[in-house]
Chain A
Amino acid sequence: MQELTENNVLQPAIPSSWDEATKPHKFCPGCGHGIILKCLGEAIDELGIKDKMVFGCDIGCSLLAWDFFDVDSVQTHHGRTTPVITGMKRANTDIIGVAYMGDGGGYAIGSQHLFNAAVRGERITILLCNNCNYGMTGGQMAPTTLPGMKTETTPYGRDVEQTGYPTKGPEMVAAVAPEGAYIARGTIANPRQLKGFIKKALQNQMEGNGISFVECLSSCPTNWRTNAKQTWEFVEKDMAEYFKVGELRTPQAKEG
């Protein structure tokens, strides 16, 4: 509630870090990306870091965000957003680097980069949109596809005997990242909480503590073939049951 009535002024509908010229945005109706990027936009506004930010996006639906913000942006290759932003940040530590990707870009083709960035404690903020499938390419299985879930490459349902269980990314990052990491999982079903996580993830980078990683449970009605009600049920019940929402690691409070 605090953010809403900060100065007794209603929050603006569009974050100023958003680029108005490229709105309405290009995501499908019912897509979760719009909500995640709204949270990110508000966080950028509140922290006043627009001019320092570099926003990197991956291939797939996250690519549609390449001209979303009024902020320096770069679209990279599939899975390579983490290393590109890592490279930028190490070369110019004044940058606030945000790597934005989907479940493939983080947990499949980009997993080696995510893992190693976590181990090294890269001072960047990684935001990952988890919607349990590869949306843009037509709905194939993703590392986060739920057991039994039908996708284009699991037409009979995901068989965990053959393909293992859905990847729990934040848990993996939390297990290997050194002290100073901020790791959380939010959901579009609770945007206020999600914005809080994203803001803390950015602050963690600003303070130079360690790696910041937020996974966002998101929706894809186009490929799930769900109506509005079914979409929300899937995010709020099915996904949340498997992927636990909350903060996994926060940096230790510094000695006084």
Chain B
Amino acid sequence: MEKVIKIAIAGEGGQGVQSIAEILAEAANEEGKNALYIPNFGVEQRGGVSIAFVQISDGQIGAPKFQKADILIPVSPRAVQRTTMYAGKDTIYIYDNSLIQEGEVNDNIVGIQYFDVTPPCPTSHHPNEDQPQEMIAGEPKTCSFSRPGPGVDPKDIPEVKKVLAIPANDIAKNEMHPRVFNIIILGAVIAATEVLPMDAIKQALESKLGDKFKKNPELREMNFKALERGYQLIKTAM
């Protein structure tokens, strides 16, 4: 039986976690691997935190969800607290150690069907074009509301094989553009899993955002730079 790599990425609704999971899975598929991606829904994480489960393998993939992740990437302080059940002794753990507070969708909301739902930015001129990623057909759209915060409490980090911290939010805000935060994370995932070549991801980004890149070539440069940055951050840390 071929090995199945189990990746779980978690964050707040506005952080674009589902988008990068989808790109990752599609890139794996394009490379001829078997991939399965399922967006969150878990009795364990009661509202708010968005989790994406991705499995990549050269062979068959079984159940869509799993107990312990090989790579676990919670990108908000609340995601760190809410995903401990997916961390095992063999897990590689990547989190964001920026001092930032992402807008959190309230707990215990009975009746909400999509945790990623937030309205378009109220002050944007063209709300429909304001999204860095295309809406995944059938999945709601997101807008990020972030402000300075206390960051991740090291006590919340579970016992795992290896812990890597990257200040993706800070880099996105200070050096690049807040919107490419999740692309930095994507670069980090590639470096950590080494399951796909960087070109595969660039190709997947290209097919997903190609129209936007054509309209605004700077966008392509920005996204690819963010990818490389995330990749380098992990490579040097490992």
Contact = CB atoms under 8 A, between A and B. Distances in A.
Nearest to A139: B140
**Interface range on chain B (Cβ under 8 Å from partner):** 20 to 34
Contacts of B117: 28, 222
Contacts of B114: 138
B111 A226 contact: no
What is the predominant secondary structure among interface residues of chain B facing chain A? loop
A225 B118 contact: no
Contact of B124 (A26, A29, A59, A227): A227
Interface string B214-232: 0000000000000000000
Contacts of B112: 26, 64, 136
Nearest to A30: B119
B138 interface: yes
What is the predominant secondary structure among interface residues of chain A facing chain B? loop
A86 interface: no
Contacts, number: 60
A221 B120 contact: yes
Nearest to B126: A227
Nearest to B145: A29
A26 B113 CA distance: 12
Given A138-B140, A225-B127, A227-B127, A30 B122 contact: yes
Nearest to A231: B122
Contacts of A24: 106
Nearest to A64: B111
A28 B117 CA distance: 8
A137 interface: yes
A221 B110 contact: no
Nearest to A29: B119
A29 B122 contact: yes
Interface of A: 24, 26, 28-30, 59, 61, 63-64, 66-67, 75, 136-138, 221-222, 225-228, 230-231
